[in-house]
Chains A and B, each alone.
Chain A
Amino acid sequence: MSDIELARVIEAILFVAEEPVSREQLAEVLEIGVDDVDRSMGTLRASLDERGSGLVVRETAGGWRLYTRPETRPFLESFAVSASSARLSNAAMEVLSIIAYQQPVSKGQITEIRGVDSGSAVRTLERRGLIQERERLSTPGNPALYETSRLFLEKVGINSLDELPPLADHVPPSTVVESLEESFRSE
């Protein structure tokens, strides 16, 4: 198959795919090398751009997927109710961040960090498919350990957890830490 023919088949596959499709998966289906997949993907992306398509190919969660072009979003919201997704609360976002960086982590550990019960936020995130239970501890009560899902990567727009912003960058600046320590520590 020529490059353009491959691009056409890839477009069709991405159209029906329910989740991002990996480079390796495409190579296997098309019986071509991963380099050829990359080249044809480039061709597909260029052709979508050239004709000003309403769709774009994005690379997230370790694969490619067809998405609507951001500019079309307001019209999609007018078109379908489901297009407008409810934003997560600050509490849910905090819990999600803790799970993202500390996974696998239990509800108890999350509560310890936040100083407030986080059960309902965990349930919300689980219902939205952003986190999932990885395993259960054998300690009393068999608490569940949570991890982030593949959907989480897709929703944040990254390929793997390594691409999360480094946590060290978000530790409060030294001036804040020092003044905190001073007020608590000064003898």
Chain B
Amino acid sequence: MMGAVKTHEVKTAVFEGPLDLLLQLITSHQLEITAVSLVDLVDEYLAVIEEIERLDLEVTSEFVLIASTLIQLKARRLLPTSDGADLDEELELLEERDRLLARLLACVTFKDVAAVIAHRMDRADRFMSRSWGIDFPLPPRPDTLPPIDGDRLARLAAELFETTTAEPDLDHLDLDLPSVADAMADLRRRVTMDAEAGFSDLVAHTERPVEVIAYFLALLELARWGVVEATQSGWLSEIRVKAAVVDLTIESEWE
């Protein structure tokens, strides 16, 4: 008994959980005696729990649960023929006992196979593989850079900074664009009235070049429709415009 107490004093910090503790207590006995005495086992188990409490460590409910099963088993062993024992309680205890046994066996089994798998992993671990594949972002190829020296690079940078830092200037843009459709309507009205007119007369009232362009586009469109006839005798000479014979009413694509 004293020897046994010594055993678990040594092992207190080593076991992991109540099943592990039970297994260690059982195997420590198997080295010495053939059959494990349940009574001794329970005493030792409870002694370890007391030790844990003395060390102010947490005694989990799992420890307590297994302890209660062990105590009941021990009590039953010490009082083999208890008259009028509750049959339900009796069966419950046997069930609990078998469950504990099964858990112990499962625990031993997995501990054993875990050692084998650990060994295999150690062996496989001697082989190493690359952990990154081909699909990481590639840096730009160095040979796509043109030959360049420091001075040229500085000049390019200066140019770039100048153009990109300046606010875009919109003053040269005249966004008040004249309507080609309006110009077409005006032309149709006036060309019908005048027998023949010069293009410069037709745009004489305009103030901006862009309006002349609108009238020119309108003229081309009307000529295409066959509403007006436009003739030009030579390069840069006056365009003569007159109304065509047939007046078609086609919707303009400029509208």
- A66 CB-CB contact with B under 8 Å: yes
Within 8 A of B (CB), among A26-69: 56, 58, 60, 65-69
A115 in contact with B128 (CB, 8 Å): no
Complex Cα distance, B122 from A83, in Å, reads 13
B133 in contact with A115 (CB, 8 Å): no
B124 in contact with A16 (CB, 8 Å): no
Complex Cα distance, B103 from A184, in Å, reads 13
User: What range describes how many residues of B lie at the interface?
Assistant: 35 or more
Q: Which 10 A-B pairs have the closest CB atoms?
A: A116-B17, A115-B19, A18-B133, A67-B127, A157-B124, A70-B126, A16-B134, A97-B114, A170-B112, A93-B114
Q: Which residues of A contact B121 (CB under 8 A)?
A: 88, 155-157
Interface size on A, residues (CB 8 A): 56
B residues with CB within 8 A of A: 16-20, 26, 30, 34-38, 41, 60, 62, 66, 73, 77, 80, 97, 100-101, 103-118, 120-134
A17 in contact with B117 (CB, 8 Å): no
By secondary structure, the B interface counts as helix
B100 in contact with A184 (CB, 8 Å): yes
User: How many residue pairs, one in A and one in B, have C-beta atoms under 8 Å apart?
Assistant: 142
Complex Cα distance, B149 from A107, in Å, reads 65
B103 in contact with A18 (CB, 8 Å): no
- A85 CB-CB contact with B under 8 Å: yes
Whose C-beta in chain B lies nearest to the C-beta of A130?
A: B121
Of the A-B pairs whose beta carbons lie under 8 Å apart in the complex, a sample of 30, sorted by A's number, is A16-B134, A18-B131, A18-B132, A58-B127, A66-B129, A73-B128, A90-B16, A93-B114, A93-B115, A96-B117, A114-B17, A115-B17, A115-B18, A116-B19, A117-B60, A157-B124, A157-B127, A165-B113, A170-B109, A170-B112, A171-B105, A171-B108, A172-B108, A179-B35, A179-B36, A181-B101, A183-B35, A183-B36, A184-B38, A184-B100
